[in-house]
Amino acid sequence: MNNFDINNLVRENVKLMKPYSSARDEFEDFDTADMIFLDANENPFQNGVNRYPDPQQSNVKKVLAKQKEVQPNQILLGNGSDEVLDLLFRAFCEPNTDNIITLPPTYGMYGVLANLNAVENREILLSNDFQPQVEQILNAVDKNTKIIFLCSPNNPTGNSFSEESVIELLENFKGLIVIDEAYIDFSEKKSWMDKLDNFPNLVITQTLSKAFGLAGIRLGICYASAAIISVLNKIKPPYNVNELTQLRALERLNDAEKIKSEILSIIKQREQLLKVLVDIKFVEKIYPTEANFILIKVDDANKRYAELIAKGIVIRNRTTQPLCENTLRLTIGTGEENKKLIQVLQELN
Ligand SMILES: *Cc1c(COP(=O)(O)O)cnc(C)c1O
């Protein structure tokens, strides 16, 4: 990847635009402790959240940068990964002109955001063992292909993509490779984070919604080169991550032991459920998983889905997804919930 220049990928209007300058952007270098802030039309009476939040979320980024061994300027935070992904479309994909490539069956938001942004979504199915078909993918690339989305471990299949195929794509595609690592903390495979310096076209997204147990606060994270992050920073809404979210994220990020123990517990429950599923008569296939869910193929997904609902258990029916006929996706719950699920599965026939 020599001569990679992010400016060749940025939309013309984004290159030309001036970012919104928020009141606080101008004061980040001052010692603000004794200052009187009459600049942002806030209510002056303190209640903890009467001020606008830090637009650069410096405290959260400082902790993440340390934990992930990157620079704070290689991090962009968003209102969930969904916002981060949307910003990637808006920065790099010209509506009605550019295209992206996704690999179904995969996370639905890439396609939704492509539609929303009027960007063509070229779908190249995964192989039968749910791996990227690299040659087909590269054949689908043209001069307007801006982003290839790789979800690894992949939702809803649960597997991660082979290192060789990801490397081949990183080396041969001149646009951005986004690796969505929402489930990386449940996998034994290494994150792609330590490859950021090797590949200027690599973008990694992670989230506090799954392993970190904070789906409710909406915090998505994008790691990339400082050059890519500065483009995204330029177009993000100034106060996209609210104060309560920043505070709660900080608190949780500093509780590494608790997070680790919850992840271990989820993995333990996953392994137990995998063992039990082997003996359930209507389960025809159990797909290998490196995530906090298991994809199974059953005799009749619609029927089994309805039966479980009737027993008070909601799972995800994936039968309409390509390569996923009659599959169900089971999220790993607590030990108690897992026990109930197992009991119900064993009673059905
Ligand atoms: C759950 C999930 C996310 C998380 O999205 P947030 O908006 O951060 O909650 C991202 N990508 C994939 C593939 C997911 O399954």
Bridge-based pairing of strands 202-207 and 283-286 is unpaired
pLDDT tens-digit readout, 153-211: 999 999 999 999 999 999 999 999 999 999 999 999 999 999 999 999 999 999 999 99
Predicted local distance difference test score (pLDDT) of residue 61: 98
Predicted local distance difference test score (pLDDT) of residue 34: 84
CA-nearest residue, atom 3 of ligand 1 = 182
Predicted local distance difference test score (pLDDT) of residue 349: 79
Q: How far is the CA of 46 from the centre of ligand 1 (A)?
A: 34
Q: How far is the CA of 87 from the centre of ligand 1 (A)?
A: 15
Q: Which helix (H) or strand (E) holds 148?
A: strand 145-151
Does the bond joining 55 to the residue before it have cis omega, within 30 degrees of 0?
A: no
- Regarding the beta carbon of 1 and ligand 1, being less than 6 Å apart is answered no
Q: What share of the chain is helix, strand, coil (3-state, %, to 5)?
A: 40, 15, 45
CA-nearest residue, atom 12 of ligand 1 = 182
Query: For residue 146, what are the contacts with CB-CB under 8 A and spacing of at least 6?
Result: 9, 92, 93, 98, 99, 100, 119, 175, 176
Predicted local distance difference test score (pLDDT) of residue 149: 98
- Regarding the beta carbon of 79 and ligand 1, being less than 6 Å apart is answered no
Mutate to test the pocket of ligand 1, among 180, 205, 321 (most ligand atoms within 8 A of CB): 180
Cβ atoms < 10 Å from Cβ of 263: 17
Name which of 193, 204, 185 is nearest 253 in CA terms.
185
Rounded Cα distance, 232 and 253, in Å: 23
How much is the pTM? 0.97
Bridge partners (DSSP) of residue 327 are: 297
CA-nearest residue, atom 2 of ligand 1 = 182
* Regions of the chain short of the pLDDT cut 70: 1-2, 27-30
Predicted local distance difference test score (pLDDT) of residue 163: 98
Bridge partners (DSSP) of residue 147 are: 100, 176
The answer to whether 175 touches 144, Cβ cutoff 8 Å, is no
Predicted local distance difference test score (pLDDT) of residue 21: 81
**Residue 78 DSSP class:** E
Rounded Cα distance, 283 and 114, in Å: 35
Predicted local distance difference test score (pLDDT) of residue 1: 54
